[in-house]
């Protein structure tokens, strides 16, 4: 295989480590219905890199030419217009006005691809964080990055002589009116909680914010656990969850943990958080299945069919009977866009949660 094709194949493998399956929406929380008396509102959203490159991987594994599949993937990336998608996400945030937003698959993409193999040269430069913050500012909303964690960078420039880079981050945004006490971030230990591949290592991590809201110190955490359905990956994901949950065993603050946890309720991942005292807010306060994944990679078809994005809470949100305090609400946020035809903001639905004051 030529160097360019080998490099592009590596990029395809890196970007494919996400949940991207075709599939319905369950918008159980209407936009703009935030209860006026609810002082703690959070959101979580997987932003989605913008293309499914599984076809490239299949071509590679089958010994075929990956270039036609890659051309299709790049065309999908361009058709899934990031500016349009970011505008929709900013509109969602504007409707809900969360104090804290957890973002996953926050990508940086630089591609300078020649012709051939493409019909004409392709140039892409995207910074998801910068573009979302600009969209929020255009709506008069003042958010800033409270914490950001770089999971991995795939830089194939030395191999091909043209820029080909992909970065993957978790990010916590915070409303600037919130009193920030501290923030931190890290990747899970590597080894063993990572996946080494021939072109690099896929790492995952977390971001944390300690803040004071309504007079009470609270801790907010965002994460994106490893994706994959095979038993080894499931065990790796559960181990990541166990390590993350264990970080808060001595934390007195109420904790809100959010993110794309890449597994369903009742999984070993879910059990690890439950054993550490976390409550799945959807189970406690949601209505309906709460599915959040996944739309078709081209974002113009498909339905959400499984629940792998979560808001979990621990401490401070329970009454004397151990039940989640009345008034907690959570819902899937997944509006359909119509500019240039139907287009979903991401392959994942987001979640918005409204919590009563922590005790």
Q: Which residue has the higher pLDDT, 33 or 49?
A: 49
Closest CA to 40 of 359, 331, 357: 357
Tens-place pLDDT, residues 15-26 = 333 332 222 233
- Local confidence band at 160 (pLDDT 50, 70, 90 cut-offs): low
What is the tens place of the pLDDT at every residue in 280-293? 999 999 999 999 99
Q: How deeply is 85 buried, as exposed, middle or buried, from its count of CB atoms within 10 A (0-12, 13-18, 19+)?
A: buried
Rounded Cα–Cα distance for residues 154 and 164 (Å): 8
Nearest-Å Rg of the Cα atoms of the chain is 20
Cα–Cα distances (Å) from 330 to 33, 218, 245, 309, in that order, read 11, 19, 21, 12
Q: Which of these ranges, 8-17, 114-123, 217-226, 260-269, has the smallest mean pLDDT?
A: 8-17
Condensed to tens digits (0 to 9), the pLDDT of residues 293-308 reads: 999 999 988 889 999 9
Domain count, the chain: 1
Quote the domain boundaries for residue 212: 3-355
Write down the pLDDT at residue 224: 97
Token representation of residue 280: 């799945």
> Would you say residue 72 has pLDDT above 90?
no
Tell the residue number behind the tokens 């969209």, with chain if given: 135
Q: Report how far Cα 227 is from the mean position of its chain's Cα atoms.
A: 12
Q: What is the pLDDT of residue 59?
A: 57
Q: Name the band, by pLDDT with cuts 50, 70 and 90, for residue 342.
A: confident
The CATH number that applies at residue 255 is 3.60.10.10
User: In angstroms, how far apart are the furthest CA atoms of the chain?
Assistant: 67
Express as a percent the part of the chain with pLDDT over 90. Answer: 58
Structure tokens at 137: 């500012």
Residue 124 DSSP class: E
- Write down the mean pLDDT value for the chain: 83
């Amino acid at each position: 295989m030529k160097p360019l094709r080998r490099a592009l194949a590596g990029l395809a493998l890196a970007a494919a480590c996400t949940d991207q399956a075709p599939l319905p929406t369950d918008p159980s929380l209407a936009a703009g219905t935030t209860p006026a008396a609810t002082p703690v509102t959070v959101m979580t959203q997987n932003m989605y890199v913008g293309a499914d490159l599984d076809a490239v991987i299949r071509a590679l594994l089958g010994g075929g030419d990956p270039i036609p599949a890659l051309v299709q993937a790049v065309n999908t990336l361009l058709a899934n217009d990031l500016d349009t998608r970011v505008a929709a996400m900013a509109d969602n945030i504007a409707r809900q006005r969360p104090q804290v937003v957890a973002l996953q698959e926050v990508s940086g993409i630089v591609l300078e691809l020649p012709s051939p193999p493409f019909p004409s040269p392709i140039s892409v430069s995207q910074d998801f964080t910068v573009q979302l913050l600009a969209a929020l500012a255009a709506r008069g909303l003042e958010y800033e990055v409270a914490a950001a964690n770089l999971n991995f960078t795939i830089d194939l420039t030395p191999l091909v002589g043209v820029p080909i880079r992909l970065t993957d981050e978790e990010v916590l945004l915070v409303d600037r009116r919130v009193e920030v006490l501290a923030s931190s971030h890290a990747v899970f230990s590597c080894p063993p909680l990572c996946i080494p591949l021939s072109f690099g290592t896929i790492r995952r991590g977390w971001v944390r914010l300690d803040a004071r809201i309504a007079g009470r110190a609270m801790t907010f955490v965002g994460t994106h656990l490893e994706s994959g359905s095979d038993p080894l990956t499931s065990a790796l994901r559960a181990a990541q969850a166990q390590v993350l949950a264990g970080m808060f065993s001595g934390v007195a603050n109420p904790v809100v943990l959010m993110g794309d946890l890449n597994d369903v309720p009742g999984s070993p991942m879910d059990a690890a958080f439950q054993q550490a005292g976390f409550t799945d807010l959807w189970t406690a306060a949601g209505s309906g299945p709460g599915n959040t994944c996944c739309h078709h990679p081209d974002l113009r078809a498909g339905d959400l069919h499984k629940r792998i994005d979560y808001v979990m809470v621990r401490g401070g949100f329970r009454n004397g009977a151990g039940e989640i305090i009345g008034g907690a609400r959570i819902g899937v946020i997944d509006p359909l866009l119509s500019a240039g035809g139907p287009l979903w903001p991401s392959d994942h639905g987001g979640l918005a949660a409204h919590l009563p004051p922590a005790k």
